[in-house]
Chains A and B, each alone.
Chain A
Amino acid sequence: MATVEEASRVDPVHQFAINPIVSLGDIGGVDLAFTNSSLFMLLVVGLISAFLILATQGRGLVPGRMQSLAEMSYEFVAGMLRESAGTEGMRFFPMVFSLFMFVLFANLLGLIPYFFTVTSHIIVTFSLALFVILTVVVYGFYRNGAHFLHLFVPQGVPGYLLPLVVLIEVISFLSRPISLSVRLFANMLAGHITLKVFAGFVVSLSAFGVLGVGGAVLPFLMAVALTALEFLVAFLQAYVFAILTCMYLNDALHPSH
């Protein structure tokens, strides 16, 4: 058993393992166990809510540090949405804000050692991306009716090119949920694997005595640098996810190119 524990420390994929904490059994043939992933999802939600609700408890006219942060995140996302989708887009503000904060907190929380990264699983990011695209499609048709299909027909394209262009537009639209989800998932997965591999080098090398410890300095420095980079990536990917969501929502609001 001890060897398995040791192995789990250097295996870079082990950190993505999903382990049931409370098994709820099969419900309708699907295993809905409460897992470490579920725990961290709820932790993310709890942290965001606690942060925003507690920070704004005082409703200070002059904000304190935490309230300032909460207001900054609000205005950051609001500005992003307003710039990409206009004032009409503000009806989607709670959605974009929730998405941004969820992805950001999940990414950042995953950087803490031994913490599970919710967004490193394709099914999570794909579900979020699908949620965005379905919102775009449903709202696009609800608001614009058949006019929403103009999204696939750019104006000013010669007639003989139109079938090709429409095909490209449709493919590009259909690939949006895939690109949106894979971008985030792959970034988190690759980042965490790289971190774990370099951290693993430190452990493996330092096992070879004094010389090994000396040699372990290099991967150690690399791991430190990568951690800094991962913090940047964590924020950047949340930002990218949110800004793309804003742009897609803009398509639902204004389908004409």
Chain B
Amino acid sequence: MISPAYAQAHGETTETVGAAETHGGGHNFPPFDPATFGSQIFWLIISFGLLYYLMSKVALPRIATILEERNDRIADDLAEAERLKRETDEAIAAYEQALAEARQNAHGIAQEAREAAKAEIDADRSRLEGELDGKLQAAEARIGEIKSRALGDVDAIAKDAAEAIVEVLIGTGVARGEIERAVDAALSERAAR
């Protein structure tokens, strides 16, 4: 177990010495070895040039296109969503308006119906009242007629009664004309009073 460590330590010194010898001393630290500079620069130019070409011609335009397409798509989708929202809002507004109109119409119709019914009722009532008035007048007229006829009868009855009473009282008849005059005078005197 000890020997490899010794071997390592020993090997390290021989390696360092060997490296120093092969490179002629001083240049055994690889990053500062100018002998490799030419090759490194040459291959760096080739590889970095290749990378630059691949990036600028293939990879980056492609990623740019992908990102652009996605942004366009998102913008389109947002615009579409906006448009749909606007349409929805319009539809809602139209619906609200239609509802308000319908409500107003319904109100109007109800009002009309109510007015029509009222007019009909009024007409019926006035017609009925007219009929009743007519009947009332006819009745009154008939009552008046009956009354005046009755009054006329009263006149004749009064004359007959007066003739009979006079005949009973005085035992003899009196001329009909005189009785009639006396009764008329009494009645007119009574009417004048």
Residues of chain A whose beta carbon lies under 8 Å from any beta carbon of chain B: 2-11, 13-14, 16-18, 20, 30-35, 37-38, 41-42, 44-45, 48-49, 52-53, 56, 59-61, 63, 67, 70-71, 74-75, 93-95, 97-98, 101-102, 120-124, 127-128, 131, 185, 189, 203-204, 207-209
Q: Are A95 and B52 in contact (CB under 8 A)?
A: yes
B16 interface hit (Cβ, 8 Å): yes
B37 interface hit (Cβ, 8 Å): yes
Q: Which of B65-114 contact A (CB under 8 A)?
A: 65-67, 69-70, 73
C-alpha spacing A246/B11, complex, angstroms: 47
Q: Are A45 and B43 in contact (CB under 8 A)?
A: no
Q: What are 23 pairs between A and B in contact, CB < 8 Å? A: A6-B7, A7-B8, A7-B11, A10-B12, A11-B12, A18-B40, A30-B42, A31-B36, A34-B43, A35-B39, A38-B40, A42-B47, A42-B50, A56-B63, A56-B66, A59-B66, A59-B69, A120-B31, A123-B41, A124-B40, A124-B44, A131-B48, A208-B2
B56 interface hit (Cβ, 8 Å): yes
B35 interface hit (Cβ, 8 Å): yes
Q: Min CB distance, B7 to chain A, in Å? A: 5
Residue of A nearest to B13 (CB): A7
Supplied contacts A38-B43, A185-B31, 5 more A-B pairs, CB within 8 Å:
A4-B11, A45-B50, A49-B51, A52-B55, A97-B55
Q: Which of B11, B44, B65 contacts A41 (CB 8 A)?
A: B44
Q: Are A53 and B58 in contact (CB under 8 A)?
A: yes
Neighbouring B residues of A41 by C-beta, 8 Å? 43-44, 46-48
Neighbouring A residues of B29 by C-beta, 8 Å? 13, 16
Q: Are A3 and B60 in contact (CB under 8 A)?
A: no
Residue of A nearest to B16 (CB): A11
Per-position 1/0 for B20-62, Cβ under 8 A of A: 0000000011111101111111111111101110111011101
Size of interface on B: residues with Cβ below 8 Å to A: 51
Neighbouring A residues of B60 by C-beta, 8 Å? 74, 93-94, 97
Q: Are B51 and A98 in contact (CB under 8 A)?
A: yes
Q: Min CB distance, B63 to chain A, in Å? A: 5
C-alpha spacing A124/B30, complex, angstroms: 13
C-alpha spacing A233/B44, complex, angstroms: 22
Chain A interface, >50% SS class: helix
Neighbouring B residues of A2 by C-beta, 8 Å? 7
C-alpha spacing A123/B43, complex, angstroms: 12
Q: Which of A8, A32, A59 contacts B42 (CB 8 A)?
A: A32
Q: Are B12 and A7 in contact (CB under 8 A)?
A: yes
Q: Are B55 and A101 in contact (CB under 8 A)?
A: yes
C-alpha spacing A209/B3, complex, angstroms: 12
C-alpha spacing A63/B63, complex, angstroms: 11
Q: Are A98 and B31 in contact (CB under 8 A)?
A: no
Q: Are B55 and A98 in contact (CB under 8 A)?
A: yes
Q: Are A122 and B31 in contact (CB under 8 A)?
A: yes
Neighbouring B residues of A32 by C-beta, 8 Å? 38-39, 42-43
Neighbouring B residues of A131 by C-beta, 8 Å? 48
Neighbouring A residues of B37 by C-beta, 8 Å? 123
Residue of A nearest to B52 (CB): A98
C-alpha spacing A49/B48, complex, angstroms: 11
Neighbouring A residues of B39 by C-beta, 8 Å? 18, 20, 30-35, 37-38
B148 interface hit (Cβ, 8 Å): no
The 10 A-B pairs with the shortest beta carbon distances in the complex, nearest first, are A3-B11, A7-B11, A94-B56, A30-B38, A38-B43, A52-B59, A41-B47, A7-B15, A207-B5, A16-B30
Residue with the highest number of chain B CB atoms closer than 10 Å, among A7, A71, A102, A131:
A7
B14 interface hit (Cβ, 8 Å): yes
Q: Are A3 and B7 in contact (CB under 8 A)?
A: yes
Q: Are B30 and A123 in contact (CB under 8 A)?
A: no
Neighbouring A residues of B46 by C-beta, 8 Å? 41
C-alpha spacing A7/B55, complex, angstroms: 41
Neighbouring A residues of B192 by C-beta, 8 Å? none
Q: Are B10 and A35 in contact (CB under 8 A)?
A: no
C-alpha spacing A18/B23, complex, angstroms: 13
C-alpha spacing A209/B67, complex, angstroms: 59
Q: Min CB distance, A215 to chain B, in Å? A: 13
